[in-house]
Amino acid sequence: MYVIVPLALREPAAAPFGALWLAVLGLNGYWFLVRLAYRVDLHEHAVRWWTPLRSGRIPLDRLHEIRPSQLGHSVVVFEVGGGPAVLVMATRRFVGCAEQVQAAAPRVNVRLNWYLRLVGLFGRNR
């Protein structure tokens, strides 16, 4: 960033590149700091989630579905009735968490793709 802004000020042709670079930086910051949860726990009939800049709670009676995202193999969507969906980065313990949610709330539709099952299979603690 310290290189892009001075370069854009000296070279007018570099200004669109600098603006595009700053836009991509802002978009990535938004997704990874605000939208994409890195942790999910089942706690007292609710799913708790955390991102670096915010956190929240989804009561199990409002959770409709857990499904793979169209954004990538390792992103999972928690569909919530009456609220925005929560995006979660799936790690090796995600399959176990999804199974716990399914056991606690059988009406929640849990769909896992081949990648999530593979991560859960090879990533579990023995």
38-123 architecture in CATH?
Answer: Roll (2.30)
CA–CA dist 10, 62 (Å, integer): 54
Model confidence over 26-73: pLDDT tens digits? Answer: 999 999 999 999 999 998 899 999 999 999 999 999 999 999 988 888
Going from N- to C-terminal start, the domains of the chain cover: 1-35, 38-123
Residue 126: predicted pLDDT: 41
What is the layout of strands, in order, in the sheet containing 36-37? 36-37, 86-89, 75-80, 63-68, 109-110
Whole-model pTM: value is 0.78
Q: 49 to each of 55, 67, 89, how far by Cα in Å? A: 6, 16, 11
SS3 41: strand
